[in-house]
């Protein structure tokens, strides 16, 4: 409203000034300053009065946090920089139960919560000519609550670590009978876009159809941005708009907390279907 009043005043002054200069002769003075600044000051004061009089008609939102804190948090917040000589691995649990990760090579013994994520950095041992790629063994186990596997079920697999790179793995079902720790692409491309847009990827299991839609609806229900799952077929990052969103799958709102998507960040949504229930995780880097 204030901006509209300013531009309206500027338009009026642009139209009136030539006529005023011709007819009023600068209020009888030899200088144009009284006319040039006096008229504009009157218009600005009028705009301010209109703004104040209409303040009860405006929608006022209290700031949720300090905008400067948010800006500096975006610039100097969590870094994806990898220590020299190391690579980083992200493991996304695609199931709604706890899983256990053990690896002597990585020196980890960790529990990953339902639809949660775990990351570890590790020094790359020289195993080839370039010395930039390493392979480590890992054991994945499941708690008894995981009804889709037998008690004490676990399997062994390997992970690839690339020096200076980040690689994501998605623990999921490739089909009803096969569980695998699936590598997501060659490595994560966490390069911020030229215009600072945030990036989103969606990790799904075999039960989802790529003709389905994931809809991000802003919390004020003023806009809807629909993204086809086919856009995320390669489970790669795609640029989206900033905002605060609720997530809908084929028109049904998912029980995830409101997503606060800020510029120049990377986000992952993990979806898992268990009967008619769709569980999901939202996390950012």
pLDDT in tens, 148-199: 888 888 899 999 888 888 999 999 888 888 889 989 888 888 777 777 788 8
Q: Burial of 141 by CB count in 10 Å (0-12 exposed, 13-18 middle, 19+ buried)?
A: middle
Give the pLDDT confidence score for residue 75 in this predicted structure. Answer: 57
Cα–Cα dist 50/56, whole Å:
12
pLDDT band at 56 (very low <50, low <70, confident <90, very high): confident
Give CA–CA dist 73/30, Å, rounded.
55
Q: Find all residues with CB under 8 Å of 70, minimum gap 6, and list them.
A: 262
Condensed to tens digits (0 to 9), the pLDDT of residues 67-113 reads: 565 555 555 555 557 777 888 899 999 888 899 999 988 888 999 99
DSSP-derived letter for residue 56 is G
pLDDT digits 0-9 by tens, 220-263: 666 667 777 777 777 788 888 888 888 888 778 887 778 888 88
Rounded mean pLDDT of the chain? 77
Predicted structure pTM score: 0.67
Alpha carbons 71 and 91: distance in angstroms, whole number: 29
State residue 49's pLDDT score: 84
CB atoms within 10 A of CB 266: 18
Q: Is the pLDDT of residue 285 over 70?
A: no
Query: For the CA atoms of the chain, what is the radius of gyration?
Result: 28
Average pLDDT over residues 200-218: 81
Non-local (6+) Cβ contacts of 115 within 8 A are: 93, 94, 95, 96, 270, 272, 279, 280, 281
How, if at all, do strands 108-112 and 99-103 pair?
A: antiparallel
Query: What's the maximum distance between 2 C-alpha atoms anywhere in the chain?
Result: 98
Sequence-ordered list of residues with C-beta below 8 angstroms from that of 137, at least 6 positions apart, any chain: 103, 104, 105, 156, 157, 158, 159
Cα distance between residue 74 and residue 263, in whole Å: 8
């Amino acid at each position: 409203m204030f901006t509209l009043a300013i531009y309206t005043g500027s338009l009026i002054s642009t139209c009136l000034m030539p006529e005023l200069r011709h007819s009023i002769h600068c209020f009888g003075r030899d200088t144009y300053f009284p006319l040039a600044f006096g008229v504009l000051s009157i218009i600005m004061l009028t705009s301010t009065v209109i703004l104040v009089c209409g303040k009860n008609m405006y929608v006022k939102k209290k700031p949720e946090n300090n905008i400067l804190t948010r800006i500096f948090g975006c610039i100097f917040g969590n870094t994806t920089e990898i220590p020299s000589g190391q690579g980083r691995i992200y493991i996304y649990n695609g199931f709604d139960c706890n899983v256990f990760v053990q690896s002597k090579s990585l020196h980890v013994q960790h529990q990953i919560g339902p639809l949660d994520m775990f990351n570890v950095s590790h020094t790359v041992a020289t195993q080839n000519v370039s010395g930039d790629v390493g392979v480590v063994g890992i054991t994945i186990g499941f708690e008894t609550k995981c009804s889709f596997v037998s008690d004490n079920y676990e399997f062994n697999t390997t992970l690839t670590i690339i020096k200076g790179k980040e690689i994501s793995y998605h623990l999921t079902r490739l089909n009803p009978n096969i569980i695998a720790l699936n590598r997501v692409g060659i490595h994560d491309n966490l390069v911020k876009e030229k215009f600072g847009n945030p990036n989103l990827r969606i990790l799904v299991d075999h039960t989802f159809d790529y003709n389905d839609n994931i809809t991000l609806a802003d919390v004020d229900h003023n806009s809807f941005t629909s993204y086809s799952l086919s856009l995320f077929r390669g489970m790669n990052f795609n640029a989206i708009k900033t905002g605060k969103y609720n997530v809908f799958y084929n028109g049904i709102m998912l029980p995830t907390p409101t997503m606060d998507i800020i510029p120049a960040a990377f986000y992952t949504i993990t979806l898992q279907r268990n009967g008619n229930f769709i569980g999901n995780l939202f996390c950012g880097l």
